[in-house]
Amino acid sequence: MIKALIIDDEEDCIEGLQNLLVHGYENFVEVLGSAKTVRDGIEAIAVLRPDLVFLDVQIGEKTGFDLLRALPEIDFEIIFTTAFEKFALKAIKFSALDYLLKPIDVDELDIALMKLLNEKSRKNTADKIDLLLQNTQKSDGLFKKIIVPTISGFEFIEIGNIIRCESDSNYTTIYIKDNQKMVVAKTLKDFEDLLSNYSFFRIHNSHLINLTYIRSYNKGKGGSVILTDGTEIEVSSRRKDDFITRLSALKFS
């Protein structure tokens, strides 16, 4: 039985989630209570000691991140709930934490709870939160690190150290500086979405590269690039124009 706490500044959201949990999850989840402000939330966590907190991102003037910052330690699981905070959502994704979009869809709640029940290594949560809090303190929105799920657990990667990502159906191989590489259970498209604001560009159906690691570009139909680690990768002819635009934009920035 998971003991859960709901923190949200809107009564409707609390009630809605409570309703979903009471009807269908009553054998897995026990709702201990709810809190509507960051202050009450901190108190409720100390008193009720929940296993799981459903944490709203925007709580009145403050945020769920503020709440987490105020806690001495985090010994519970977190599922963030949010309606449409783009920046926050990105930070949550970068830390490989779970989230639900409001209004909450039953199927998605299902997946999140099942994942929680099955997940073996919960000890990463504190690390993930650490990164989340670091990242959300940056004002430019460009995060330095990302957490990715690997076969053995989770890995922290410095984004600037990623040279390229290569797709292998539902997995992605990440090539990192100093000849390291790791296989991640995410699609290349996931990485493309996460990293497109950085200096990454998808030059090919199966290649996403960090433009700062390009050593040279050979002209051709699409042409090809040679990266600093010596690998040569073909540029898809359909991506050539966009690629050159991105590359020249990078030079001047």
Residue 122: CB atoms within 10 Å: 12
Using rule CB under 8 A, residue 16 touches another protein = yes
Using rule CB under 8 A, residue 106 touches another protein = yes
The nearest distance, CB 26 to another protein, in angstroms, is 16
Identity of the residue, 135 or 167, whose beta carbon is nearer to another protein in the bound complex: 167
Give the tokens for residue 158.
């410095």
> What's at 101, amino acid-wise?
L
Identity of the residue, 128 or 207, whose beta carbon is nearer to another protein in the bound complex: 207
Pairwise CA distance, residues 118 & 98, whole Å: 14
Using rule CB under 8 A, residue 224 touches another protein = no
Identity of the residue, 186 or 204, whose beta carbon is nearer to another protein in the bound complex: 204
- CB burial class (10 A; 0-12, 13-18, 19+) of residue 128? buried
The nearest distance, CB 111 to another protein, in angstroms, is 13
Q: Which of 46, 110, 238, 248 binds another protein (CB under 8 A)?
A: 238
Identity of the residue, 147 or 208, whose beta carbon is nearer to another protein in the bound complex: 208
Identity of the residue, 18 or 134, whose beta carbon is nearer to another protein in the bound complex: 18
Q: Tell which residue, 102, 91, 101, 100, has the closest CA to residue 68.
A: 91
Using rule CB under 8 A, residue 221 touches another protein = no
Using rule CB under 8 A, residue 205 touches another protein = yes
Q: Which of 11, 105, 158, 168 binds another protein (CB under 8 A)?
A: 105
Q: Which of 22, 46, 47, 101 binds another protein (CB under 8 A)?
A: 101
Q: Which residues of 213-237 are buried (b: 16+ CB within 10 A; e: fewer)?
A: bbeeeeeeeebbbebeeebebbbbe
Quick check: 205 and 195 in contact, CB under 8 A? no
Q: Is the dihedral of CA 109, 112, 116, 117 positive or negative?
A: positive
Binding site for another protein (CB under 8 A): 12, 16, 19, 101-106, 189, 202, 204-205, 236, 238-239
